[in-house]
Amino acid sequence: MAGKKITCLSCGQTNAVPFDKLAAGPKCGTCKAPLMPDAPVDVDLATLVKAAQTDDVPLVVDFWAPWCGPCKMMGPEFAKAANALKGQARLIKLDTQKHQSAGQRYGIRGIPTMVAFKGGREVKRQSGAVSAGAITDWVKGL
């Protein structure tokens, strides 16, 4: 498979995208959903597990819950960072209230928590609400 492996966040299909096309708005070969969206995508646990293990592009997950005040404050900042990082990394969100086993699987002790995956493994973690600029800098440091 030539190019970077990227899991479609809509249908779960693994796609190969040439490196120089990552910022050009590649779409899934199966369902035509954007592979490098400019806004965070809400995913389920199965999609997160596959993307974290498969993707060649850095994947940053915001573990959050709808009742969490700091999570609500960080949501718009995470969205701004996703737009700024389009083509370099994918930012996704996982609702820990809906997917309670995710917290245990990934050792989430408090929310919001960002976890970065690269090359099939966790490479970085940050807890607490942070600004878009701090998120962008954090991701660029991967």
**Which CATH number characterizes residue 89's domain?**
3.40.30.10
Is the residue at 44 inside a domain?
Answer: yes
> Is the full-model pTM beyond 0.85?
yes
Q: Which residues are catalytic?
A: 68, 71
Geometric angle at alpha carbon 36, from 7 and 111, rounded to 5°: 80
Assess contact for 66 and 117: CB atoms under 8 A. no
- Provide the domain limits for residue 109: 38-140
Q: How confident is the model at residue 19 (pLDDT cuts 50, 70, 90)?
A: confident
Over the stretch 21-67, which tens digit does the pLDDT of each residue have? 888 999 999 999 999 998 999 999 999 999 999 999 999 999 999 99
Place of tokens 């700024």: 84
Is the residue at 59 inside a domain?
Answer: yes
Assess contact for 60 and 91: CB atoms under 8 A. yes
Q: How many domains does the chain have?
A: 1
Name the β-bridge partners of 93: 42, 62
User: Which sign, positive or negative, has the C-alpha torsion 78, 20, 13, 116?
Assistant: negative
Give backbone dihedrals phi and psi of 139, rounded to 5 degrees, phi first.
Answer: -70, -40
